[in-house]
Amino acid sequence: MSLKQKDLVSIADLSTDEISLILDTAEKIKQDPASVSSVLSGKIMASCFFEPSTRTRLSFEAAMQRCGGSVIGFSEARNTSSAKGETLSDSIKVISPYVDAIVLRHPKEGSARLAAEYSQKAIINAGDGSNRHPTQTLLDLFTIRECQDKLDSLHVALIGDLKYGRTCHSLVEALARFGARLYFVSPESLAMPQTICDKLKLAGAKFSFHRDLSEIVDRVDILYMTRIQKERFGGGEVQGDLSGCMLNAEKLKNAKPSMRVMHPLPRVDEISTDVDKTDHAYYFQQAENGLYVRQAILKLLLGA
């Protein structure tokens, strides 16, 4: 099995074996970072951020450089040819001969799929509008496997904005492949979309809906918290509902000792800082893992 010169557009494009290969590679890199410190020397990654996402960009650029490769690129389209009206397909045709892989962040859904059709080099989707962000999903899977010692048959709760949060959509679809039991905690107005629930049913996944994380905290292995973007609501009517989606140390007292709290970060106030000191907090390890997972993806896609 080889991922050489494959594109990474959506997690659904990867077989379960390919996912495992990426996670195993990331694990080796985490254990021995020096082993890959020059594995991509002479290779160039383009970091094309048509909208800003500093954290994702830094993580990719650090990953490439920690593998001995180099990085060119831009952040924000304001000063580039796309501001002058160039199409994405033209930009990709121009950039792809310069480099060995293109990391693409773009505000429009489907941009990465389109770019992959025009690029001779691997396209790595670093977020296409509200659609996909597969490296986030892979680092989440890696982190879950790391802290639970397995990926199969886990009980995973997702909390917060499950309607617009693309992170959650890709993650639950991936977890369904590993037989997870899923719990969706959100206000009614931010519930998991029907189309995703239909896909989960088709995949044979079991899931249930809840308003307050206290209902399920004692039975899950993972609490996956997400940020609720309050600007999505005009009025204050949702605010009252949100308390069930907020976490503090007190609410964790019935949790299993092995239960871990994750969050894609940045957090606002959905996880109070008193959780950080508990053994359950795992979100900073999760952020760190993004580096190893992205190193693994670059190494495999560039065939090193």
Partner 1 sequence: MNKTLSVQAIKNGTVIDHIPAGQGVKILRLLDLYSNKTRVFVGLNLEGKKQQKDLIKMEDTYLSDAEIQQIAIFAKDATINYIKNFEVDGKSKVDVPTSIKEIFSCPNSNCITRSESVVSEFKVHQVGKSIALQCKYCEKSFDHEDLESKL
Q: How is 50-96 classified by DSSP, letter by letter?
A: SS--HHHHHHHHHHHHHTT-EEEEEESSTTSGGGGT--HHHHHHHHG
In whole angstroms, the minimum distance from the beta carbon of 128 to partner 1 comes to 8
Smallest gap from Cβ 113 to partner 1, in A, equals 5
Relative to beta strand 260-262, strand 181-185 is unpaired
In the complex, what is the shortest distance from the CB of residue 112 to partner 1, in angstroms, rounded to a whole number?
9
- What would the x/- binding string for partner 1 be over residues 145 to 184, using CB under 8 A? ----------------------------------------
Among 98, 107, 203, 232, binds partner 1 (CB under 8 A): 107
Three-state SS at 219: coil
Q: CA of 292: how far to CAs of 126, 140, 299, in Å?
A: 15, 12, 10
Asked if 272 and 253 count as a contact pair (C-beta separation under 8 A), the reply is: no
Which of 24, 51, 188, 198 touches partner 1 (CB under 8 A)?
198
Q: Which of 121, 133, 177, 227 is an active site residue?
A: 133
Per-residue CA distances from 8 to 28, 33, 56, 157 (Å): 21, 23, 15, 26
User: Known catalytic residue: 84?
Assistant: yes
At closest approach, how far in Å is the CB of 138 from partner 1?
18
* CA nearest to 171, candidates 225, 219, 210, 128: 225
Alpha-carbon distance of 112 to 123, in angstroms, equals 7
Binding mask 6-25 for partner 1 (x = CB under 8 A): ----x---------------
Considering only residues 235 through 274, tell me which ones interact with partner 1, judged by CB under 8 A: none
Residue 49 contacts residue 126 (beta carbons within 8 Å): yes
Work out how close the CB of 239 gets to partner 1 at its nearest, in angstroms, rounded to a whole number: 27
**What is the per-residue burial (b if ≥16 Cβ within 10 Å, else e) of 244-268?**
bbbbebebbeebeeebbbbbbeebe
Structural tokens at position 6: 């494959």
The binder of partner 1 chosen from 30, 93, 113, 163 (CB under 8 A): 113
Instruction: Kindly give the pairing relationship between strand 222-225 and strand 155-159.
Output: parallel
Residue with smaller CB distance to partner 1, 88 or 99 = 88
**Per the residue annotation, which of 105, 121, 177, 299 is the catalytic one?**
105
User: CB within 8 A of 232, min separation 6: which ones?
Assistant: 161, 164
- Smallest gap from residue 159 Cβ to partner 1 (A): 24
Stretch 133-152: interaction string toward partner 1, x if CB under 8 A: --------------------
Stretch that binds partner 1, among 96-104, 125-133, 134-142, 221-229 (CB under 8 A): 125-133
> How far from the centroid of its chain's Cα atoms is residue 52's Cα?
16
In the complex with partner 1, the residue whose CB is nearer, 13 or 212, is 13
Q: From residue 61 to residue 100, what is the string marking binding to partner 1 with x (rule CB under 8 A)?
A: --------------------------xxx-----------
Q: Is 133 a catalytic residue?
A: yes
Complex with partner 1: residue 9 or 293, whichever CB lies closer: 9
Q: How far, in Å, CA of 169 to CA of 173, rounded?
A: 6
Residues with a catalytic annotation lie at 55-56, 84, 105, 133
List interacting residues with partner 1 (CB under 8 A): 10, 87-89, 106-111, 113-114, 128-132, 195, 198
